[in-house]
Amino acid sequence: MQRSMAKALMDRLVKPAALALTIAGLPLAADARTDRPDLFVDVSGVVPDAVFDVRYFSTDNFVGTRVDGYGAARCFLTRPAAEALVKVAAEAKKKGLGLRIFDCYRPARAVAHFARWASDLRDEKTKPTYYPDVAKKDLFAEGYIAARSGHSRGSTLDLTLFDLATRRDIDMGTPFDLFSPRSWPDSAAVTATQRANRRLLAGLMSENGFKPFDKEWWHFTLKDEPFPDTYFDFPIE
């Protein structure tokens, strides 16, 4: 019994440290560009009717604190992605719907912040809200946290739809950033109506040049992104 308890204690102490060392060896932000190219635009200037609920500027996120690199509640995208999003917003408006945007361009330093948070297995304050169905130590292996993010290339965003008349979000079955199989776009764990709502969003995005992510119903990337191999680290200000 004492031996098993000792092993459990060592696991709690050693595994977080080992994970932190692993993360330290990954190319997080060191080789990312810190300049903001002219091709990046503030989305509020081209989709003024969108609601910008930038979660990583707030404490209402899985880290539980404002994330590194988010100095303002602004949304930047490459111009091609922003122009495609204008078309999405126009089509959504015809259906009485608007866009609520949670995240757009994400600095590489923010991704590094996520990695540091994921390496601290003792900090599980946000587990009940954001990852009740998965162990924190498995967030990397299961693809919910990564050493690099497509968001840092500037043509990926996270969003949902809301009813323009009531201002209420359309029911997608799970909240944004729930790390769970329930958040997979075609999850059978949500109702048929909720899946239909996800497909409505995916259809609007796909018809206007975006591709989905198989683990997050809210996540879309421009198919012909202008910086497919370049990651940026300029702060959001």
Q: How far apart are CA 61 and CA 179, in angstroms?
A: 12
Q: Is the dihedral of CA 30, 33, 35, 41 positive or negative?
A: negative
Three-state secondary structure readout of 71-136: CCCCCEEEHHHHHHHHHHHHHHHHCCEEEEEEECCCCHHHHHHHHHHHHCCCCCCCHHHHCCCCCH
Are the C-beta atoms of residues 128 and 121 closer than 8 Å to each other? no
216 is catalytic: yes
**Reduced to 3 DSSP states, what percent helix, strand and coil does the chain have, rounded to the nearest 5?**
35, 15, 45
Q: How far apart are CA 25 and CA 139, in angstroms?
A: 18
DSSP 147: S
Q: Is the dihedral of CA 116, 118, 120, 126 positive or negative?
A: positive
From 83, 91, 216, 237, active-site residue: 216
Q: How far apart are CA 100 and CA 103, in angstroms?
A: 10
Q: Is the dihedral of CA 204, 103, 58, 186 positive or negative?
A: positive
CB atoms closer than 10 angstroms to residue 230: 13
Report the catalytic residues: 216
